[in-house]
Chain A
Amino acid sequence: MAKRIPNCRITSNELVADDTYLMQFECVTKNATPGQFVHLRVTGRDDLILRRPISINSIDTKNNIIKLIIQAKGEGTKALCVLKAGDVMDIISPTGRGYMLSKKVKKAAVIGGGIGVAPLKYLIEYYKNVEFDSYLGFRSDCYAYQLDEFKALSNKLYVCTDDGTYGEKGFVTNRLDMNLEKEQYDVVLACGPKPMLGSLKKVIDKHKVPCFVSLEERMGCGIGLCKVCVCKTQEDGEENYERVCLDGPVFDINKVVL
């Protein structure tokens, strides 16, 4: 359950790709599922009043360490990326509804783009009995991170870059599309930018595989109070806006309007 923990100590914060940091901090977290996120205050910047949602990249339960991948993009994430070991953060954790796999799932594909690759690592680590093929897309070689870890954790690893500087040139959704001609997956689990999820939806419609996607939206409370974080959903012909922070961030791809 989402709780405020006002004094989490950062143990390290290091550059892992261009504009991309791996932050580790101390926090006792029980029962955090993959796809869930932590909601961070920006230490030292009281003028930035809102928290930032960052999905969990990994949890070291033995040492009570949460790992996050943070992209220095806006003012808040830039300020988070310059925090140092020993600095303290005020967090709400864990929040949202993550990827929930039934026991029947034996073989799955994870597909991620850019910063959306981060939560997939915790997903693969968490479901130890499932065999995963990983499809990762980055803009360019210099933005790719944790490829060695994914290689070790995955059955097969496919990497695509927009400019061909690493792996295959092109979109990772095309690679999945081609592989689905021969590969059988019980489920496809995705996280990435809206345009990527839009292309993925076409691939999923064509091959008719169950698929769950994790969405991103600007957030306020992160715990379901304010309804600012919504995404459009469609069920039985009825359109609605649902909360990404509490009803998601993981949704059935057939339910969300992408």
Chain B
Amino acid sequence: MNLKVDICGKTLKNPVIAASGCFGFGREMSIQYDLNTLGGIALKAVTAQKRIGNPPPRIAETPSGMLNAVGLQNSGVDQFIVKEMPFLDKLDTILFANVAGSTIEEYIEVTEKLQNIAVDFIELNISCPNVKEGGNAFGAEPDTIYKVVKQVKKVSKQPLIVKLSPNTVDIAANAVAAQEAGADGISLINTLIGMSVDVDRKRPILANISGGLSGPAIKPVALSMVYKVAQAVSIPIIGMGGIMTGRDAVEFLLCGATAVMCGTLNLIEPDGIPNVIAGIEEYMTQHKIDDINELIGGLIV
């Protein structure tokens, strides 16, 4: 049975990648299982300078989902390289460095600093809903997407994956803009902007008031966006949003994703991703499919 997929000339052992922000820099999870069994890891977002993030509470549970408002807490790209890379360097899996920023200059600065670092992909996070500047502001409109992708692409030797926000008017137009600006792939979706209210205290649950919705609740939205984007672009797509099982992952592959990412799953099940991989294998056995690539875009409509 072949589980290998290819993205921009790089081979993933299987199509299941840990999503950014839900896996730290891998260290904590490495005591749970062998990280080399993963298709890849999207690392926590890094910015040019250290950011302390938003005040707590940063999480709220919602029906079949959750809101988060971490606000890009990280020690900055320099510390990332010094503190996290020695551990990550030893892994035999595909690494996606998730790059965030408030300005185009910041995205460029971070990407430049990652040039001689052993990460396989740059994942450009223009879709974080939890910071005041940048983030989603870059990811909402085709012309700003075009601008930032074009500039970052100039300095990036690694293939550039652009992570799109669902908080937009026309996701397909945004994906096309990224492709035209030189993106090598698209990942989607980041979280949906949402709120939750404590009616007894008449206050928002999140200190940030609003946050990003993730988990099973967003899977139908994510699938329809992946499907739309797959119709509109020719570059590979990495799909995510609410994947909890192997069968969920297969849904995304059928809709046109070459690989998938699992985020919230890791917050619930420390052994979640290995179970998703096993679930995909089980599905393939049941359906007598030898090569996972047969599933990609295989939706019958």
Contacts and interface: CB of A to CB of B under 8 A. Distances in A.
- Does B associate with A? yes
Nearest to B27: A224
Interface in A95-135: none
A148 to B, nearest CB: 33
Contact of A229 (B22, B28, B59): B59
Interface size of A as a range: 20 to 34
Contacts of A92: 270
A218 B58 contact: yes
Contact of B53 (A51, A217, A227, A246): A227
Interface stretch (B66-74, B163-171, B247-255): B66-74
Interface in A1-48: 1-4, 41, 46-48
Contacts of B220: none
A232 B55 contact: yes
B270 A223 contact: yes
Interface of B: 21-24, 28-29, 31-32, 44, 52-53, 55-61, 63-66, 68, 70, 73, 215-216, 264, 266-271
Given A49-B64, A221-B266, A1 B31 contact: yes
Contacts of B58: 218, 227-230
A221 B87 CA distance: 21
A156 to B, nearest CB: 36
Given A239-B52, A241-B53, A220 B68 contact: yes
Contacts, number: 97
Contacts of B73: 227, 230, 241
A49 B267 CA distance: 9
A224 B24 contact: yes
9 contacts: A4-B271, A49-B66, A50-B61, A76-B61, A220-B66, A221-B266, A225-B24, A226-B266, A241-B56
A220 B59 contact: yes
A198 B146 CA distance: 50
A218 B32 CA distance: 22
A229 B56 contact: yes
A219 B24 contact: no
B65 A224 contact: no
B56 A49 contact: no
Contacts of B61: 48-50, 76
B28 A225 contact: yes
A184 interface: no
Nearest to B73: A227
B270 A2 contact: yes
B267 A50 contact: yes
Nearest to A52: B61
Given A217-B56, A220-B267, A226-B267, 4 more contacts: A4-B269, A226-B21, A239-B52, A241-B56
A246 B269 CA distance: 16
Given A49-B65, A246-B28, A4 B70 contact: no
B239 to A, nearest CB: 20
Contacts of A76: 61
A174 interface: no
Contacts of B55: 232, 241
Nearest to A1: B31
Contacts of A223: 28-29, 32, 270
| From B52, B215, B267, residue with most partner A Cβ within 10 Å | B267
A226 B270 contact: no
Contacts of A217: 56-57
Given A49-B65, A49-B215, A225 B53 contact: no
B10 to A, nearest CB: 25
Contacts of B66: 49-50, 220
A165 interface: no
A47 B269 CA distance: 15
Given A1-B31, A221-B266, A224-B24, A240 B70 contact: no
Nearest to B57: A218
A41 B268 contact: yes
Contacts of A232: 55
| From A2, A50, A51, A225, residue with most partner B Cβ within 10 Å | A225
Contacts of A240: 52
B79 to A, nearest CB: 13
A231 interface: yes
A223 B267 CA distance: 8
